[in-house]
Amino acid sequence: MARVLVTEEIAQAGLDIIAAAGHEVDVRLGLSPAELLQAVPGAAALVVRSATKVTEEVLLAGRELQVVGRAGIGLDNVDVPAATRRGVIVVNAPQSNILSAAEHTIALLLAQARNVPQAHAALKAGRWERSRWEGVELYGKTLGIVGLGRVGALVAQRALAFGMRLVAYDPYVAPERARQMGAELLELDELVRQADFITVHLPKTPETVGLLGDKLLAQAKPGLRLVNTARGGIVDEAALARAISEGRVAGAALDVFASEPPGPSSYELIGLDQVVVTPHLGASTREAQDKAGVTIAEQVVMALAGELVPFAVNVPAAEVDEVVSPFVPLVERLGRLYAAVARELPATLEVEYQGPLASHDTRVLTLAAQKGLFSVVTEEPVSYVNAPQLAAERGVEVRSTTASASHEYVNLVTVRGGRRAVGGTIFGKGEPRIVLLDEHEIELPFARWMLVVRNDNRVGMVALVTSTLAAASINIVDLHLGRSADQRTAIMVLSLDEPVPETVVEDLAKAPGILEVVPLNDV
């Protein structure tokens, strides 16, 4: 059981998931930075939303932290590089609010086009200003979508229903993919020249801060209206205020700001009649908050169980496809098996992929091999985040190789280092099998307790081993025999009902013809 510190409100269903997994849920809302530093020691997981600042100081205070969960998409309040250095997994809920964000974008698009908030406020104040707040239609207009990720794609889908023409800017999307969404890819400056409306759906990075500033807005098509529900700061607020005041831009609708709540630097923009604003409501729907709480709870439980977490932002290739996914536990066990038989760290750890699997992104499998290896050789917690760091600190070079064909199996994964090698594959409907041990071909399932015996290839060795185990009242569940290519040595791999006592291992190791005895527990 681990302690999970929750510092902001998430859905009760999420809290229930954490508790059902056997963990202690410690809810402490409204902590000050100083109080957070007092509360985080002893917590294995920290769950936050947007208000709690997870700084390097917090991460240093939380020595037992294994995972930080952000119930939402943005990670502006989490020091991800510091977490990575500490080996702490950072997870978020990237799909929880995409629908809500897309719908809010459309709401602001319509509100800006038809001046809904301004007309509403005037009428509430007793003014009938029908002619003043004349709007424009969306039909037939060109919508420029800056960022064709999850939210941008949903906005594109909905904008098509209004009969809008779509153009888009996204350097990471192929033209064919954009065409499938009904959009034409353009360079950003050309998009600004063609668009009647622009909607922003980019992450906030050093490259995107101030992206839409004076230079681009000077090229705007007359009457342009701009919507930003992504992140504050991507649109230069002072530049946008100037463009609207000078009539180069017709108006804007903003849900996000450079600082939140907006400071004095935003007042000029917010005060313009042509500007519609909401207080960062893109994810503020009951459905989005419920999905975020449930998703982050599931991620935290998986991380605490040592499993691969799909939405870990600081684990390379955490999102794996359906071909690679079944191999993750197999390769982690191969890493553990390698560590058990090698009994020392190699200078180079090589993970080889053969068969159709080799054509997929196998980076997460290489991570799994490292995680399995170091979980045996070190007592500190090992995760998909810190496994590469442990390898670097201990001078282990990690590399992967691929081959398009596997001679014996559909797919084969081999973990090698020095003179030792272990290999495995998946049989049937997902059963992991060991199929290679050093130069010996074998074939048997993993078991909790196993024994590897390497011996001279001569008569009587099987009887020697089995009789020794029988004398110790140890039941053999499975047994596989194999010989080396030169026929000089042989190998026995036995699955057992219980671990082999050290005294039995020592007796076997002393017997004539026995070259090596390796007990394997919990691989």
Strand partners, 436: 423, 441
Q: Boundaries of CATH 3.40.50.720 in the chain?
A: 3-96+287-304, 98-277
User: Is residue 206 predicted with pLDDT exceeding 90?
Assistant: no
Q: Is the pLDDT of residue 308 over 80?
A: no
Residues of CATH 3.30.1330.90 domain(s) within the chain? 327-521
pLDDT tens digits along 354-373 = 999 988 888 889 999 999 99
- Tell me the pLDDT tens digit for each residue of 171-189: 888 898 899 999 999 999 9
Residue 377: pLDDT over 60: yes
- Which band of pLDDT confidence, cut at 50, 70 and 90, is reported for residue 319? low
When pLDDT is averaged across residues 222-235 and rounded to a whole number, the result is 95
What's the pLDDT tens digit per position in 23-40? 999 999 999 999 999 999
pLDDT at 317 over 60: no
Question: What's the pLDDT score for residue 316?
Answer: 67
CA separation for the pair 493, 504 (Å, rounded): 16
User: Per the structure block, which two tokens stand in for 456?
Assistant: 């001279």
Mean pLDDT, range 400-424, rounded to an integer: 88
Are the C-beta atoms of residues 174 and 200 closer than 8 Å to each other? no
523: pLDDT strictly greater than 80: no
Chain centroid to Cα 221, Å, comes to 39
How far, in Å, are 251, 499, 506 from residue 455 at the CA level? 82, 21, 15
- Asked if 66 contacts 89 with a C-beta cutoff of 8 angstroms, the reply is yes
- Residue 407: pLDDT above 80? no
Class level of CATH domain 3-96+287-304: alpha beta
Tell me the catalytic residues: 231, 260, 280
On whether the CB atoms of residues 425 and 415 are closer than 8 A, the answer is no
Class of domain 327-521: alpha beta
- Least confidently predicted of 90-94, 142-146, 304-308, 499-503: 304-308
Could you tell me which residue, 316 or 489, shows the higher pLDDT? 489
The model's pLDDT over 50-89, given as tens digits with 9 standing for 90+, comes to: 889 999 999 999 999 999 999 987 788 999 989 988 889 9
CATH class of 98-277: alpha beta
Spatial distance between the Cα atoms of 298 and 410, rounded to a whole number of angstroms: 33
| Residue 12 CB neighbours (<10 A) | 11
At 61, phi and psi to the nearest 5? -70, -35
Closest CA to 448 of 332, 333, 326, 325: 333
Q: What is the residue-averaged pLDDT of the chain?
A: 91
Q: With bands split at pLDDT 50, 70 and 90, how would you rate the model's confidence at 235?
A: very high
pLDDT of residue 283: 83
Question: Exposed, middle or buried by CB within 10 Å (0-12, 13-18, 19+), for 38?
Answer: exposed
